[in-house]
């Protein structure tokens, strides 16, 4: 509904409810998220048609130019962190995402920063790299950071920004997935929890289709604060886990 992969909300559940270790949760998140994004992109075309998205293809290319490198670096860091450290890093990032989610969706600062041409392309590389790192470390799509960046930097409408964020997220997640797959524990985690991953992915896909149908029906004034509160609670629980 918003343009997220849903992994930000899945992550605290995997750790706090189902009892997985932080890195295990990140790996499973990274395995499940691409299926959700692949479903969400075409599903959102009903409310946000391709003809509206096509003129903004340069936004996606600009962010991808650095987010792919960031995803590789972030995945490398995550596989080397101690479990306690990774858990606290994840908790801090969840809190930051809650702030970004509220700021963007309630303020809706359309119009951008007024940058154009080469300057805009160069400036866009920095947040793209940072978002790639965060998305890989958390095993998420990174929509909470991509959407504010697209709205603030490029002045794109917030619904268009949601779809563009998914277009950037998918290749970024695939790069991180490729990096995680080089770690010995990656296949062990997925093989040991294959049925669980498949079941949760199926549920996420159903939820994605429902969210796309509800796009524009449920007001952001209700939805966004509720999701932000959930992120903050999850961050606190994860920090104290």
pLDDT at 199 (0 to 100): 94
Q: Is the pTM of this model over 0.95?
A: no
Look at the alpha carbons of 133, 91, 18, 34 in this order and tell me if their dihedral is positive or negative.
negative
> Between vectors from CA 162 to CA 79 and to CA 220, what angle results, nearest 5°?
110
Domain boundaries, the chain: 7-240
Q: Are 87 and 15 in contact (CB under 8 A)?
A: yes
Tell me the pLDDT of the chain (241 aa) as tens digits: 766 677 777 888 888 888 888 888 888 888 888 888 888 878 777 777 888 888 888 888 898 888 888 888 888 887 777 767 777 777 777 777 777 767 766 655 555 556 677 888 888 888 888 888 877 777 667 777 787 788 778 878 777 887 888 888 888 888 887 888 787 778 888 889 999 999 999 998 888 888 877 776 766 666 667 767 777 877 777 677 6
| Residue 35, token pair as written in the block | 């299926």
Q: How far apart are CA 137 and CA 85, in angstroms?
A: 12
| Residue 236, token pair as written in the block | 């606190």
Q: Are 25 and 161 in contact (CB under 8 A)?
A: no
pLDDT at 153 (0 to 100): 82
Q: Are 223 and 2 in contact (CB under 8 A)?
A: yes
pLDDT at 115 (0 to 100): 65
SS3 content of the chain, % helix, strand, coil (to 5): 80, 0, 20
Residue owning tokens 């490398």: 76
Q: Is 1 helix (H, G, I), strand (E, B) or coil?
A: coil
| 133 Cβ contact list (under 8 Å, min separation 6) | 70, 71, 73, 74, 77
- Give the number of other CB atoms < 10 A from CB of residue 125: 16
Q: How large is the C-alpha radius of gyration of the chain?
A: 17
**Buried b / exposed e along 60-80 (16+ C-beta atoms within 10 A):** bebbbebbbbbbbbbbbebbe
Residue owning tokens 């041409």: 117
Terminal Cα distance for the chain, rounded = 30
């Amino acid at each position: 509904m918003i343009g997220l992969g849903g992994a930000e909300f899945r992550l605290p559940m995997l750790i706090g409810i189902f009892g997985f270790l932080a890195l295990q949760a990140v790996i499973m998140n990274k395995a499940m998220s691409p299926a959700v994004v692949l479903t969400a992109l075409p599903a959102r075309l009903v409310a946000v048609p391709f003809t509206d998205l096509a003129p903004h293809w340069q936004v996606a290319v600009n962010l991808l130019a650095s987010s792919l490198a960031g995803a590789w670096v972030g995945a490398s860091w995550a596989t080397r962190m101690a479990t306690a450290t990774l858990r606290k890093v994840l908790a801090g990032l969840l809190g930051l995402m809650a702030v970004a989610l509220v700021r963007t969706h309630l303020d809706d600062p359309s119009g951008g920063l007024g940058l154009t041409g080469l300057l805009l392309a160069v400036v866009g590389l920095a947040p793209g790299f940072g978002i790639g790192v965060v998305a890989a470390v958390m095993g998420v799509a990174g929509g909470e950071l991509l959407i504010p960046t697209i709205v603030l930097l490029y002045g794109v409408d917030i619904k268009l920004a949601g779809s563009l964020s998914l277009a950037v997220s998918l290749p970024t997640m695939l790069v991180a997935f490729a990096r995680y797959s080089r770690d010995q524990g990656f296949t062990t985690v997925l093989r040991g929890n294959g049925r669980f991953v498949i079941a949760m992915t199926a549920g996420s896909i159903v939820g994605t289709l429902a969210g796309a149908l509800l796009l524009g029906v449920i007001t952001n004034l209700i939805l966004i604060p509720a999701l932000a509160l959930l992120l903050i609670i999850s961050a606190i629980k994860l920090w104290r886990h």
